[in-house]
Amino acid sequence: YIPSKDCKVVVSNCGSSSEFPTAAIFEDCSMTYLSVKEENCGQQHNYIFYGEQGKDYYIKWNSYYSTGDYTWTIKEIDLLPGESCNNPIIASNGVNSFDITNFFNNTQWYRYTATKNGKIIISNCESTASSTDVRVYEACNNYQLSVKYFNCGDQKRIIFDCQQGKTYYIAW
């Protein structure tokens, strides 16, 4: 399958029959498993993953527990703002909000462009009771930036050097 846009892809056999096959979704022909969220609907399943426009994905149905015919569907769902690195929320100096209520992977992405040379401090200390983690990148699909981590309970505070005009991608 090749998505027509960056999106969430839902592969489903829910309600298709009384059969209950399972699926495996791969990133390439070498059968590298793709991380998916699986939702059960009785004996059948929805498989949800982030699809990149123009990239090939391979779906293999396994019928270990099925002997009859079944159908399945595939659909694309638009990403919510902040749901992927390619669709980040613009962060600003000061307080920014965080809400992953409708997100499938519990990560929210932000983009911040440094306004001057120096250090950036990102913190959610004393702002939530939830256990959190934060990562910073210089680009999507890139290596994590080296930062100094400080724990404040289950929350995080990080500090890193920045350059004026440079964009940083933040994943909570």
The model's pTM is 0.74
Residues 87-101: pLDDT tens digits? Answer: 899 998 888 887 766
Cα separation, 15 vs 20, in Å, equals 10
Low-confidence ranges of the chain (pLDDT < 70): 65-66, 100-105, 131
- Asked whether the beta carbons of 116 and 127 are under 8 A apart, the reply is no
Residues in the chain: 172
Virtual torsion, Cα 151, 153, 155, 157, nearest 10 deg: -30
In order of 17, 24, 128, the CA distances from 139 in angstroms are 44, 29, 27
- pLDDT tens per residue, range 132-155: 778 899 998 788 888 887 778 777
The pLDDT value recorded for residue 102 is 63
| Three-state DSSP state, 94 | coil
List the structure tokens of 74: 């595939």
